[in-house]
Amino acid sequence: MSYEDWYRQDRLPHIFCAGCGNGTIINCTLAAIEQMDWKKEDTVFVSGIGCSSRAPGYILTDSLHTTHGRAIAFATGVKMANPDLHVVVFTGDGDMAAIGGNHFIHACRRNIDLTVICMNNQIYGMTGGQGSPTTPKGCLSSTTPFGCAETPFDLCELATAAGANYVSRWTSYHVKELEKAVKVGLETPGFSFIEALVQCPTAFGRRNKFRQVADHVEYLRSHSLLKAKRDRMLENGEHIPEDMYIVGEITRRKRPAMGVKP
């Protein structure tokens, strides 16, 4: 058995653009789920609206493709109705951070036993490249033609502050690390949040000098800073560049969780 068996082979190839990182994240998630020995009947994938949210359509299990931003709300309902199910939520930054931000922080507060994988491409890719709450400062999008002037959300810090049990961030370059992080997230009782930074050559890269997919992946690789190294640099009083993404396991703790069978 390999994770390829979880794909709906009749639906592939998927509709994501050439070079889109979402397929990589689905691969990593399914590879982690494959190691968990879960049955396909006991696993549910939930998603909202957006590029990333098309992912459950290509997976062989039961899935919910729900209204915009409400993926976590629907997933909470699924988990509460039948706590035996393993619920995994695929969501994007526009879906989860923008319109579904409230549902997200309340799911973190309740610490309900879900695994949320956020494919953060830093833009609204499907609707034509509008700026999202995670678009970095100075980046161009169709609604910020002179550069984004707002401070982006740090989703991992938000989840940590709201009370999630497991929080980590990786990029689409770090496939093996992401696979391990998703596996830890699936094993952790309580809310686990994994943010995966992905490249978007069509909407983000085209406007921000990353026309080649490889350039964007290389940028993600060179601008990711391990959390352990960040802490070491802070100890030594070194300067940390502002455009670095902190990757690694941000939080792991044991707050009382909801929806876990004793």
Partner 1 sequence: MKLAIDETRCKGCNLCTKVCPYKIFSEGKRLNRKGIALPELDRPERCANCRLQKLYGRQLCGVCQLTCPDQAIHWIDEEPYELHKVAIEY
Residues forming the site for partner 1 (CB under 8 A): 2, 4, 7, 12-14, 16-24, 27-28, 31, 172-173, 175-176, 179, 201, 213-214, 217-218
| CA 193 – CA 23 distance, rounded (Å) | 19
| Smallest distance, partner 1 to C-beta of residue 191, A | 25
| CA 172 – CA 186 distance, rounded (Å) | 19
Question: Closer CB to partner 1, residue 6 or residue 153?
Answer: 6
Question: Closer CB to partner 1, residue 157 or residue 218?
Answer: 218
Residues 6+ apart with CB under 8 A from 67: 48, 49
Q: What is the DSSP string of 59-128?
A: BSSEEEE-STT-HHHHHHHHHHH-TTSEEEEEEEHIIIIIITHHHHHHHHHHTBS-EEEEEE-SSBTTTT
Question: Closer CB to partner 1, residue 98 or residue 117?
Answer: 117
Bridge-based pairing state of the strands 166-171 and 245-252: antiparallel
| Smallest distance, partner 1 to C-beta of residue 2, A | 7
Task: Find the farthest-apart pair of alpha carbons in the chain and give their distance in angstroms, rounded.
Answer: 55
Residue from 206, 201, 254, 247 nearest 223 by CA: 247
| Smallest distance, partner 1 to C-beta of residue 42, A | 24
Question: Closer CB to partner 1, residue 24 or residue 160?
Answer: 24
| CA 21 – CA 62 distance, rounded (Å) | 23
Question: Closer CB to partner 1, residue 13 or residue 262?
Answer: 13
| Smallest distance, partner 1 to C-beta of residue 60, A | 13
| Smallest distance, partner 1 to C-beta of residue 27, A | 5
| Smallest distance, partner 1 to C-beta of residue 31, A | 6
State CA 50 to chain mean position distance. Answer: 13
| Smallest distance, partner 1 to C-beta of residue 75, A | 25
Question: Closer CB to partner 1, residue 8 or residue 253?
Answer: 8
What stretches of the chain show up as alpha helix (H) in DSSP?
Answer: 22-34, 71-81, 93, 101-110, 155-162, 175-187, 213-222, 227-235
Question: Closer CB to partner 1, residue 97 or residue 220?
Answer: 220
